[in-house]
Structure 1
Amino acid sequence: MENREDKLTWWQTLKSVGAAFFGVQSSTNHQQDFSKGKPIQFILVGLFAVVLFVMGLVLAVALIMPS
């Protein structure tokens, strides 16, 4: 059975995806992600981040452009 410290939590995954999204991921965190993270966590959190980003862009354009 895997030790709890051997896996990334969802919060750690969210922080890691956020840092990678903006290009400020440290080398240490990058190595930890590959050694302790599950791909499905990064895929789900990444998709969620992209959806939020696109929704934010749509909202910004809708607020700026006159109707």
Structure 2
Amino acid sequence: MPEPDNKPPAAKAPSLLDTIFSVLASFFGVQSEKNRVRDFSAGKPIVFIAVAIVVTLILVLSLWGIVQLLLKNAGV
């Protein structure tokens, strides 16, 4: 009688949208254990790094734009 295969199923690589949500969740520190395991077992580090850099640039440029708008409205 063959023994059952006790190996866990191969994790599916996260999609780009899953990667973006994982990076945003990590910015706030609210990543779920299930997603963390998926990201570390099937995700490619370079994709997470690239998405994190883009999200960081968007955040910084948004803050810079808000400050510029506030300064302009304050007459400075």
- TM normalised by structure 2 equals 0.75
- Could you tell me how far apart the structure 1 residues matched to 2:35 and 2:13 are? 13
> After the TM superposition, which segments of 4 or more aligned residues of structure 1 sit over 3 Å from their partners?
none
SS at match of 2:23: helix
Shift of 1:6: 2.3
Structure 2, unpaired ranges of 5+: 1-10
Identity of aligned residues (%): 40
Higher helix share: 1
Tell me: higher relative CO, structure 1 or 2? Use CA pairs within 8 A at least 6 residues apart.
1
Shift of 1:42: 0.1
Shift of 1:9: 1.1
Q: State yes or no: 1:32 paired with 2:45.
A: no
Aligned length in residues: 63
Structure 1, unpaired ranges of 5+: none
Shift of 1:23: 1.4
